[in-house]
Each structure stands twice: as C-alpha cells, then as structure tokens.
Amino acid sequence: MFAGKTVVITGASSGLGAALAEGVAKAGGSLALLARNAERLGAVAESCRAAGGRVVEVQGDVVDPGACESLIAAALAEFSSIDYLVLNAGVSMWVSFEEIEELSLFSKIMDTNYQGSVNCVYHGLAALKESGGLLVAISSIQGLTGVPSHTGYCASKHALQGFCDSLRIELKGTGVDVLTVLPSWVSGTGLRGRALGAEGEAIGVEAKGHSSSAVPLDRLVAKVLRAMRKRRRLLYVPGYMRIIPLLKALCPCFLDWIIKKKVSR
C-alpha cells in the first residue's frame, strides 16, 4: 500500500502516531518521525524497522518551527521526497472553563494542536507539491462542534479545521490534496490520560475512562491508512458522526443536549 512512499508523522512516540507509523512500515513505506520523548520515539522507530520500514527519527516539539524544519530536512535527505505529511501531534484537556486555574493551558493546547501543525505545513508544503502528495490532519469531531470541559481543545481543533479547509481550496490544481480525520472518542491512544486539568497538569490515565462506544485504536488506524491510500477529503470515525454538521445546522439545541448527556455520563 505504501511501498516506495515516504510518510512523515508528528507525535509519533505513542498512541495514534506510533500505531500509524507501524502500519505504514508493515505496508512497505519509509518513515520520518517526530516526537518530544526521544526514548519512546526510538522504541517506535526500532519497531518500525523490525516490521520492514526504513526510518529516520527527529527528537523535537512541533511548537518549535526549527524542529519542524529539521524533520522535513531529515526526510528529504534520507528519502529524497515526501508523499504524506501526517499532522498528529496533539494535547487534550478535561476541565470546565470555570474550574481552570492556569490559563497557560490554553496557549499550550493551541500552540501544539494548531500552530504546531501550521509550522509543519509551512516547512513541508513545497515537498508535498513536488511529489503531488497528501496532507493528513488528525483533527477531531470536536473541530466541528463544542464539547463541555474541552473548551480549549475544541477551539484548537476548530482552528485546525479552518486552516485545512482554507488550504485545501488554495491548493486546488497543485496536485496536493488535504485529508481531515474527524474521530470521536478513541480508546488506546493514551491521549485522555495526558489531558490537561485545572492547573495545566495531566489528569492521569484513571481519571476519565472511555465509554463502550469509543473507537478502538486499531480500527481507527486501519480507516486512516485506507483513507490516505484513497486520498479522501474527510474521514469521520465512526461513520455516523457525519450527521454532526447536519444536526448542528438543523437541530443545534438537540445536538447540544446529546453532547451534554454523553459527556456527563
């Protein structure tokens, strides 16, 4: 599926990023990986090599434009081209707005989820245009509607969604396509345990569990890889989430009631 292709992934040391990297490696692709934690990133890289993939890893944070530039440079130096740029790095939150004690968590979330993605695209777009590649943004269904206790996260994903929608139009005719991935709750990523609380601290893996309706990580990975291969425009996971924009337009109060009920469980 990805033989002869180069895939760049941010936030690749754990969760969805690591799982996507391993999936690409098993499908014959080459990888350039970025993450803050060098030890975990190295372990993921070795796992991908064991699966048959060629890998170059860069330790760094997407909030640093220099790290994003280094990632793109390393990918081009090692593989000569970039076919897919996957914007996966992200941080979440789980605290109501009135309970927040440390406002810096808003800038941390926005810097990572939105500005970090912009940084990567800024340095990687020329390479994507050269290859006629695909930009893949791991957003969230929360990029389309509000969710209580996720004000900062929703704001960052709305920003990312607007950026990708605008960029998609700008890039018409260039050979570059934009895929936005819009998952609902996903189990197995570790993102919820690292979500920020009232003082900007990680709430811990046991603080908020997943409902039985959460999408398993392996299922999400399979759907994302398939959507990448087909160069889809949007991917809702699960598929019935595509009704969210319709409900928001036609029955916004009903949608608010559903979301409030789900999150309050």
At 108-118, the pLDDT tens digits run 999 999 999 99
Residue 114 among the catalytic residues? no
Enumerate domains of the chain plus CATH numbers.
Answer: 6-263 (3.40.50.720)
How far is Cα 91 from Cα 62, in angstroms, rounded to an integer?
Answer: 12
How does pLDDT run across 115-158, given as a tens digit for each residue?
999 999 999 999 999 999 999 999 999 999 999 999 999 999 99
| pLDDT score for 192 | 66
- For residue 1 the two structure tokens come to 């599926």
Angle between helices 217-230 and 15-26 (to 10 degrees): 60
How far is Cα 135 from Cα 240, in angstroms, rounded to an integer?
Answer: 24
Helix or strand or coil: residue 92? coil
What pTM did the predictor assign? 0.93
pLDDT tens over the chain, length 265 residues: 899 999 999 999 999 999 999 999 999 999 999 999 999 999 999 999 999 999 999 999 999 999 999 999 999 999 999 999 999 999 999 999 999 998 999 999 999 999 999 999 999 999 999 999 999 999 999 999 999 999 999 999 999 999 999 999 999 999 999 999 999 888 766 666 678 888 677 776 544 554 567 899 999 999 999 999 999 999 999 999 999 999 999 999 999 999 998 887 5
Residue 238: name the closest of 187, 190, 192, 164 by CA: 187
| pLDDT score for 195 | 80
How far is Cα 258 from Cα 56, in angstroms, rounded to an integer?
Answer: 44
Phi, psi of 190 (to 5 degrees): 80, -5
Which position among 84, 114, 153, 236 bears the catalytic label? Answer: 153
- The alpha carbon of residue 80 and the mean position of all alpha carbons in its chain are separated, in whole angstroms, by 24
Q: Alpha helix locations (H) across 15-62? A: 15-26, 38-50
Residue 177: name the closest of 126, 139, 236, 228 by CA: 228
How far is Cα 161 from Cα 137, in angstroms, rounded to an integer?
Answer: 8
| pLDDT score for 178 | 99
| pLDDT score for 5 | 98
- The alpha carbon of residue 70 and the mean position of all alpha carbons in its chain are separated, in whole angstroms, by 19
